[in-house]
Amino acid sequence: MNKRTLVDYESGSESDPGSPSDNPETSSSVIRPQSKRRQTSGSGIGAQDPPSAPAPTPAAPLNGNFGTRITPPKPAPKSTSPLPALGDRFNDINPSNPRTAVADDPSLHHGRQRQVPHIPGNWPSHVYIDWEPSSGDRELLTSLVDKLKAEAKSAAQRSPDLEGVEIHTALRDSDLPVNRPLHISLSAPITLTSNNKDDFLDDLTKAMKSCRVSPFVLDFSGGVNWYRSEESTRSFLVLRVREVQSSTGNTANSSPNPRLTTLLEKCNKIVKEYGQPPLYESKDMGYRFHVTIAWTHARPSASLKQLTDSVFDDCETMHSENVSIRDKLRTGLSLPVQMVKVKIGNYVTRLDLRDKGLGLPVKTA
C-alpha cells in the first residue's frame, strides 16, 4: 500500500500588535492577518493532514460512460448596496492632523491666528451647538460661497476696495478633503487647565440640566451679513438664526431666541466663575446667534456688502425665476437642536436636550 505524503507547511512569525496609545489623536486598532500554524508529520497526536480538495460532483453518464464533472465556483455577486452612513459621532473626532509644535504658525492655516496663545498644560475649550447640513443644504451654501468668491475676484478690477480680498469657505476643511460641520457658539474660545477641566464640565452639566430646555428648531430668517469683532483678525459671513416659535411660545415682542439665550446665560455664568470671558453679554444677545459659512481677512467694505447682497438676491443662482438664495434660506432650511456639545482639548462631551432637562454627558473618544 502506498504511503500518503504529508506536506509540511512553513509559517512566518509575526509580533503581536502593540497596545493602542492613550493619546486620542494617535490611538488606533490594528488587525493583522493570522499566521498559519506549522503542520507536523507523523501519525502521533498533533499530526494533521493538509486540507483536501472538495469532492467532485457526480454527473450524468456521458456517451454511455460514467464520469465526473467539476463544478466551477460561482463568482461572488457584486454588491449594489451603498456604503453605510457615517455615525453621528464622526464629527466629534478631530479631523486635523496632530500638532507637536506649541508655537503658532499662521502660514499653515491661511493666515489664521490663535485668539488665545497655546500654553503646554492648558486645554482650549468651546461650548457650542453643531449642525450637519443635509446634502441639499450643503450644496446650496457651497454654491453661494463659490459664486461670491468668483464675483469678488471679478469685481476687484473695478472696485479697489475688493482688490486682494480672498474669501475662504467654512464648509470644508482647509487641510483635509472632508466636509466640516457648522456650529452656533455658546461660548467664546476659553482655556481650562488640567486641574479644573473636570470640575468645569461637572458644573456646566449641572447648570445646563437646571435650565430644563427641551429640543427646539431654528431657521435662518434672521438675515445674512458680514461680522467682525474687535478682537478678531477676520471677518465672518454669517447666517442669523431664529427659533421657530410654537403657538404657545413667546410673543413677537420677546427675544427671537429665548431658548438659546437661556443656554447662553447659564454657560456665561459658569465660564466667568472659571475666570474666562463670557459671550454676547449684552441686551441684544438674543439677536446675535449665528452660523458662519465663510470668512476673509479683509474688513467688510461697502463694496463687499453690496456684492454679497446681490448674490443672495440673485434668482439665477437657484435656477429659478421666483426664488432667491435669501428666500430659500428663510423658508427652506432648518436646524434642529437636540444637544449641546462641550469640547475640551480633543474630547467632546454631549449634553442631550430632553423634555425634563439635559441628560448626563456621554463622552466620545
Domain residue extents for the chain: 106-246+256-364
| Burial class, 357, CB count within 10 angstroms (exposed 0-12 / middle 13-18 / buried 19+) | middle
- End-to-end CA separation in angstroms for the chain: 65
- Where the chain has pLDDT below 70, the residues are 1-72, 76-118, 246-253, 315-322, 355-365
Between the alpha carbon of residue 141 and those of residues 38, 83, 144, 145, 304, the distances in Å are 60, 25, 5, 6, 18
Residue 150 dihedral angles phi and psi, to the nearest 5°: -65, -40
Question: b/e for 85-124, b at 16 or more Cβ within 10 A?
Answer: eeeeeebbeeeeeeeeeeeeeeeeeeebeeeeeeeeeebb
Show the cell assigned to 230.
Answer: 474687535
Give pLDDT, residue 297: 93
Residue 16's pLDDT is what? Answer: 41
For domain 106-246+256-364, the CATH class is: alpha beta
**Amino acid (1-letter code) at residue 181:** P
For residue 211, the model assigns a pLDDT of 86
Q: How many residues are listed for the chain in this entry?
A: 365
Give whole-number Cα distances, 112 to 115, 118, 272, 295, in Å.
9, 14, 26, 10
- 319 catalytic? Reply is no
Q: What is the pLDDT of residues 93-122, one digit of tens each?
A: 554 445 555 555 555 544 555 556 667 889
| Dist CA 330 CA 239 (whole Å) | 10
For the beta carbon of residue 49, count every other beta carbon within 10 angstroms. 10
CB-based contact 292:237 (threshold 8 Å): yes
Residue 126 annotated among the catalytic residues of the structure:
no
What's the pLDDT score for residue 202? Answer: 97
* pLDDT at 166 (0 to 100): 93
User: Which residue among the candidates 109, 168, 290, 297 is catalytic per the annotation?
Assistant: 290
Q: How far is CA 150 from CA 46, 66, 87, in A?
A: 74, 78, 34
| Number of neighbours of residue 84 by Cβ within 10 angstroms | 6
CA 297 to each of CA 233, 300, 308, 329: distance values in angstroms, whole numbers, following the listed order: 6, 9, 16, 25
Q: Can you tell me the distance from the alpha carbon of 296 to that of 227, in angstroms, rounded to the nearest whole number?
A: 10
pLDDT at residue 85, rounded to an integer:
56
Write down the catalytic residue from 126, 183, 297, 319.
Answer: 183
Q: What CA–CA distance (Å, rounded) separates 298 from 117?
A: 22
